[in-house]
Each structure stands twice: as structure tokens, then as C-alpha cells.
Chains A and B, each alone.
Chain A
Amino acid sequence: MTSTQHEFGDVQGIYLPIGLAVLAIVVAAFAFAVVRYRARPGRAPRPTRDRYAVEAAFATAIAAIVVVLLITTFRANADITDTARHPRPGFAVDVVAYRWGWQFTYPSLPGVVDRSGPDVPAVLHVPARTEVRFRLRTEDVVHAFWVPSVRYKADAWPDTMRTFDLSFPEGSAISGHCAQYCGLKHSDMVFTVAAMAPAEFRGWAAAARRRAADTARRRAG
């Protein structure tokens, strides 16, 4: 499991059971009231009395749950966003979002460019199970870089460089989308992630650099 996925799982592991329990309790309370107190002949309502102790008890209980939720959230959020706490990145990617596609370049692989083509989604190549440092920017409007399977997205913000770290499980076609509405072809602004085992990745990187060098030579010639 990767780090963002892990943090997401930890937080959801607290939120979801608590939420479902509250849902069950409240639905049960309404069901109980409807069944038990349904109007029948000869039944009169009890006069309403103030019960401040009961109300205070409920408020305190909810507040206690809120404290638990917030502690969980703050810890995980610090782990996700504080890049200083992360392991040293083993690879870096520069992402440019534009209407309507993606461009991925790699500082350690000069000249290698993965870019969306007409009707062909861009492919982001990364080594699997490696901390990857992303630098994300946009050429035009706000887009969002979202990889659902690692449970993370970040908006590409005008005139701003966003930095975050992700690591991916091995997989050749992990899907990614633009999540922020960006106009006509927002639906088509998809990409895939190819996260390769280290040896395989080295092979791809070598081939990609050769191809890039060939292209550059051809352009020069």
C-alpha cells in the first residue's frame, strides 16, 4: 500500500464505522419512536419537559466524537502534506495540465516527454513503490490531477507550482482524470499511470532517452 492510500485508509477506518454507527442509531431511534408512539385510541401524549442534562450529554458525546475525528484528520493531513516528513523522493515528475490534456516530463530524463495526443491519453511513467515528487502547474485554467487508486488529487492552480509526493503500486494502466471542470473536453482529460518494477522502469527509461536523443538529432539534422 502506498502512503496516501495508507493515510486515506487509516482516516476512513475511523470515519466510516463511526458514521455508519451514528446512522444506525439515529434510524433506530426514529423507527422506535414511530412504532412505539404511534397514535392509538386512549393514548395521550406526555407533556414536554426541559431536560437540559440529556441535551448536554448528547452535545458532549457528539463533541467527543468530533475531537476523535479531528485528531485523526490533523495527524493524517500533516503526514500527507508535510513533504519534509516523507522519505527522500526516488524520482521526480513535472506535470503540466492544459485544456485538454497532460504533459509529463522527468527532470532525470531530459528530453523525454509524455503528452496527450489526439484521442490518445498521456501515459505517466514512474517506478513502482518509489516516492515520486510531483511538481504540478497549469497553462490556463484550474485543473485537478486525480489518481483515484492512490486516493489523492491536487488542483493545478494558475501561476502556482504545487508540490506533492505519491507512490504507486505496480500497474500498467492505473487511471487518472482531471477532476476540476475545465470546459468543453473536461470529460476527455484522462491519463494513465504506468508504474513499473525497478528493472523494467530502467529499461523503459533507457529506451525513452534513446528515442528522445534520436528525435533531437533528426530535428538538428
Chain B
Amino acid sequence: MGGRGAEARGRHGAEARRLSVAIPTPTRPLRGLAGYLVGTDHKSVGVRIFGTAFGFFLAGGVLALLMRSELARPGMQITSRDGYNQLFTMHGSTMIYFFVTPVALALGTYLVPLQVGAAEIAAPRVNLIGFWLFLLGGVIAWSSFLTRNGAGAAAWTAEYPQSDSIGTPGAGMDLWIVGVWLGVLGTLLLGACILATLVGRRAPGMTMLRLPVFCWAMLVTSLMVVTSFPALLTAMGGLLLDRHGVHVYRGAYGASAYQDLFWFYGHPVVYVMFFPFVGAALQVIAALSRRRLFGYKGVTLSLLAFAALSMSVWGHHMFTTGQVSNDYFSLTSTMLAVPAGMEYVAAVGTLIGGTLLLRTPMLFAIGFFVQFLLGGLSGIYVASPPLDYHVHDSYLVVAHFHYTLLAGSVFGLFAAVYFWWPKVTGYLLREGLGKLHFWIFVVGTNLTFLPQFFLGYDGMARRIADYTAADGWTTGNTISTVGSFVIALSIVVFAVNVVVSWLVQRPAGPDPWEGQTLEWATSSPPPRQNFDGPLPPIRSAEPLVDWREERARAEATAS
């Protein structure tokens, strides 16, 4: 550690400016189980959230493979109808509550303090509690499989009255509600810590308009987290009471009240699971194009507009209910195309004119934008009530949101993983295996989800355990199932990459990619207090690019 720290000092020592804030003396990091339980270093907590969320990703993925196996052919082969209902409920809830949301916040927990030049995350103990609540919530929700009636089976949305004590009886559903409630409370705390860090822990010189684009993405993400997640806590809290004799949602208005509350969380959370990956992918694209981000102010403005609009689009999940003003929600939802389009303008505008290094993170970042587009455009399609009356709750919608989440956000996640892995661990992941992982993942996601657009259009409803040969959906479903196993294969390749790279380590050094932001100005992995020496001066959103340019100018003058 000392050697790497000295190296970081040496690199930036010449023109470094003294920090005006005192860096607190670090306590000696706790190791082993104690460190895992009570360590408050945001980097360690970030890694723990990431690891836990990735574990849930694998578990939820196994459920997906079981579902796809059941649907491959007509008739019931793998499980029962009840078993299938538990599978899709636990798959959806695991992926949304316990994988994509926390993993997005894990990136923020790890990277935001580094990128803003802070020695520590704001409220580190609250951050740690957030992790524990998330882990506890996930374990409790999954423990519902152990109950007599099985796991929660009211879908990830738990819509009332299907989720009441008559529609979904049993302790499994109660455990599911408690687990989700705790998990969402945990992620709410994680978001609050990230927000507080961005507001209050920025290094001198790090003005709002010098925040790296990933930090802007995390800022709007955590704003949405703290404003929308309480709605879910309310909805689920009410649901638990309702199941135990307190009449909360009875009657015509109760069902709407639940859905309004739920989707007031449920739509912003969609962007919570998207923005961090936009930020990460733009950061990767800029670094590996060897160029500053194009349209930085446009991106920040779009992110803010996007986040503001995201709070007023929830009713587009309810077009078929007859309980909301469809034209209004169609208006707000379709308007999202403008800020979303600006993110694409930034990505393409950065690539054009750069010198593109097509390393693994770059492939995933470009793949993220291209693949997400199918999810985004089909999102505009379903935002039109006359089209949604047909495709709502069909497999077309399943295809749509899997293109945003798995075939979209998870590409962005892997871009981030390959890009920041060397920073977190100190060694690089293998390029060859990384590229193999990428291409298998591209094939797998499209093979799985493209056919589902056609299945849904043709009349296959969501959340069905079975269909008949006469429906004519067998071929599409079989292709989709094969695709899901191709996705699984790509994850195996990733796992092999992780193991190989760990067994025979290739040291990364502090800055393997010519990074542009402050985390690349410290050792890999960074020391407990993040930066050993003084920070390089912060005069733009890319302080390390400034630093390199100045050094090049100085060298030119000297010679």
C-alpha cells in the first residue's frame, strides 16, 4: 500500500494543491468477519453491496432459467402452476429489489466519494445499516420459500386485492412483504448517503458543474430514491396491515390507491435502475475515446428533466384500469424521449472525433446504448394508450422492460465492472474472456427477448405458466428458452474471467485506462482515506485530462 501511495503522490505532487479540509486519521481497517460485519469504509461497503446484489442476480437468474424451461414447450414439465407463480414473483422481486437497484447504488457508494475527492462517504454508519437492511430484506424475502404455502406469489407488484389474505394466503407472502420493505428501506438509506456525499463532501474546487457525469447520474438517481421509495414503504406497510385485519385498501378506491402508491415508486425506480448505468457508460465512452464528454451541460440538464418527469409518469402502468387520466400520463411518458435522446446525442457526439479503444468496457458501454434503444423505443410505443390497450400485460411488455433492464442496464453494469474492476481490486480482468463474455451476452439477450415482442403481439399474456400447442407460440418460446441458457453461459464466462484474473493477477497500476476523474489519481485499490496525497487541482469535470494536458504543455515548453 505504501509504495502505491507514494506513486500516486509522485504523479501529482508537482502541481498539487493542498487540501483545505483535514483528512481524518483513518482507523485501522478491521479484517475478516468483523470487518465484513461492521466495517464502514464506503469502498468495502460498496463491494459488499455489489457482491450481495450479484449473488441475488445469480439466484434470480436460476429462477428465470426454471421459468424459461417450463415455458419452452406447451404443457407442465418442471413445476406446477403454483410453483410457477412463486418463480416469476421471486424472479421479478429479486431482480428489481435485490439486484439492479442495490447494485446501481453499490456503484455510487464505491465511486461517488472517490470521484468528488472525499475521504469518506457521508454518514458511513447509516450507509452500513443500509447494506445490512438490504441483505436482511433479501434473506427474509427468500426465506418465504421455506414456508408451508411457499414463497410470495402475487408478482413483484403485489397488486391489491390479489395480494390480500384471500388472494395470496400464507406466511410466505407476509415474509415477502417484510423482506421487500426492509430491502427498500436499506436502499433508501444507501441513496440518502450518496446524495449527502454529493451535496456536502465535494473537495474544494469540485463545483456542481465540475461533477463527473457518473456523479450527476447518481445525484438524480438518489434524488429519485429519497423522493419515491417512501411511497413503496407506505404501500407495502399498508398491505401488511390489510392482510392482518386492518382495512386499508378495501373497495374500488383501495385497489387504485395501492396501485397509485406502488407505481409512484415503481416508475421512478425504473430510472434508478437506468441512470447510474448511463453515467457509467458515458464515463467509459469518454475515457476510451480519449476525449472529454460531448454535451456535458446538455446531459446534466436532461438528467434533471428526466428525473423530474419520472415522478409524473406512473399512471402509464394503469392505462387499462380506467382509473387514471390516460392522455396526461401518455403526454408525460412520451416527453421522456427528449431527455433520453440527449443522452444518446452525448454518447455518439463523444465517440465521433475520438480515438476509440474497443476494450471490453467500451464494448459493453456501446452495447448498452444500442441494446437499450430497443427497450426505450418500445417504451414510447407502450406509452400510447391505444397501443397499450392491446399489448399491456403481454409478453411484448416483458420484452420491453427486459431490453431496458437486462439487455440494457446490465450491459451498462458490466461496462462499469470491467472498467472499475482494476481500481477496486488492483488487477485487470482478461480482455479475451471479456470480449467473449460480451458477444455471448449480445447473442443470448437478443435470442431471449426479441421473440417475446412477437409472442406478446400475438396474444401471449404475461405471468402464465402454460399455453397450448394450438396457440402457436411454441417456436418463439423455445427460441427464447435457448437464449436464456446462452445468457447463463455468458455469465459462466464472466465467472471464469473473474477466477482466472484472480489466480494469475495482472497488476493494473493506479490508472490503466487513462481515466479522466479523480478515482484514477489514487492507488488501486485506494487507501482507507481514498487519497494519500493532495488531490490534483479540479478545474473541470475531467481533472486528470487537465493535468495530462498541462504536463504535455510543460514538456513542450521545456523542450
Q: Which residues of A contact B (CB under 8 A)?
A: 4, 7-8, 11-12, 15-16, 19, 22-23, 26-27, 29-30, 32-34, 36-40, 43-48, 50-52, 54-55, 58-59, 62-63, 65-66, 69-70, 72-74, 76-77, 80-81, 140-142, 144, 146, 148-149, 151-155, 157-160, 162, 175, 177-188
- The answer to whether A70 and B342 have CB atoms under 8 Å apart is no
Contact call B322/A154, Cβ cutoff below 8 A? yes
Q: Is the CB of A37 within 8 A of B289?
A: yes
**Bound state CA distance, A61 and B294, in angstroms?**
19
The smallest C-beta distance from B244 to any residue of chain A, in angstroms, reads: 19
Bound state CA distance, A185 and B387, in angstroms?
27
Q: Is B36 an interface residue (CB 8 A)?
A: no
Q: Which residues of A contact B254 (CB under 8 A)?
A: 158
8 Å CB interface, B165-182 against A = 166-168
Cβ-defined contact, B81 with A159, below 8 A? no
Nearest CB of chain A from residue B365's CB, rounded to whole Å: 11
A163–B334 Cα distance when bound, in Å, is 27
Residue of A nearest to B153 (CB): A183
Interface centre among A47, A81, A141 (most CB of B within 10 A): A141
B446 smallest CB distance to A (angstroms): 13
Question: Does B101 sit at the interface, judged by CB under 8 A?
Answer: no
| B409 contacts the other chain (CB 8 A) | no
Given contacts A11-B386, A153-B393, A159-B252, 7 further A-B contacts (CB under 8 A): A16-B381, A59-B341, A69-B380, A73-B334, A77-B386, A158-B251, A181-B155
Query: In the complex where A58-B345, A77-B385, A158-B251 touch, is A177 in contact with B390 (Cβ < 8 A)?
Result: no
* In the complex, chain B residues whose CB is within 8 Å of the CB of A33: 348, 351-352, 354, 356
Does B458 count as interface, using CB distance less than 8 angstroms? yes
| Nearest opposing residue in chain B for A40, CB measure | B355
The docked-state distance in angstroms from the alpha carbon of A46 to that of B345 is 17
Q: Do residues A175 and B459 form an inter-chain contact, with CB atoms below 8 A? A: yes
What are 7 A-B contacts defined by CB distance under 8 Å? Answer: A4-B389, A39-B357, A73-B327, A73-B385, A144-B320, A154-B320, A181-B159
User: Which residues of B lie under 8 Å from residue A74 when comparing CB positions?
Assistant: 327, 330
Of the candidates A51, A141, A144, the one whose C-beta lies within 8 Å of that of B161 is: A141
The stretch from B11-19, B228-236, B367-375 touching chain A is B367-375
Q: Which of B298, B351, B384 contacts A34 (CB 8 A)?
A: B351
Within 8 Å by CB of B85, from A4, A70, A184, lies A184
Q: How far apart are B206's CB and chain A's nearest CB, in angstroms?
A: 20
In the bound complex, residues from chain B placing their C-beta under 8 Å from that of A45 are: 289-291, 353-355
- B550 on the A face (CB < 8 A): no
Given contact pairs A69-B380, A180-B393, A159 touches B350 in the complex (Cβ within 8 A): no
Return the contact of A15 from the options B293, B331, B384, B385 (Cβ within 8 A). B384
B247 contacts the other chain (CB 8 A): no
A185 and B81: CB pair below 8 A? Answer: yes
State in angstroms the CA–CA spacing of A63 and B335 once bound together.
7
Taken together as a complex, chains A and B put the C-alpha atoms of A151 and B390 apart, in Å, by: 4
Q: Which of A29, A34, A141, A180 touches B358 (beta carbons < 8 Å)?
A: A34
Q: In the assembly, what is the distance between CA of A18 and CA of B292, in Å?
A: 31
Partner of A66, one of B338, B358, B462, B471: B338
A182 to B163, CA, bound (A): 9
Quick one: which of B372-402 are within 8 Å of A by CB?
Answer: 373-374, 377-378, 380-381, 384-387, 389-390, 392-394
Contacting pair B330 A29 (CB below 8 A): no
Query: CB-CB < 8 A to A7: which residues of B?
Result: 386
Which of A43, A54, A141 touches B167 (beta carbons < 8 Å)? A141
Residues of B within 8 A of A44 (CB): 355
Q: Is the CB of A187 within 8 A of B341?
A: no
Is the beta-carbon distance between B356 and A184 smaller than 8 angstroms? no
**Minimum CB distance partner of B464 in chain A:** A187
Contacting residues of chain B (322-367) with chain A, CB-CB under 8 angstroms: 322-323, 326-327, 330-331, 334-335, 337-338, 341-342, 344-345, 347-358, 366
Task: List the B residue with the shortest CB-CB distance to A145.
Answer: B320
Question: Which of A22, A181, A182, A185 has most chain B Cβ within 10 Å?
Answer: A181
Asked if B122 is at the interface of the complex by the 8 Å CB criterion, the answer is no
Please give, as numbers and ranges, the residues of chain B lying within 8 Å of A144 by CB-CB distance.
Answer: 320, 392-393
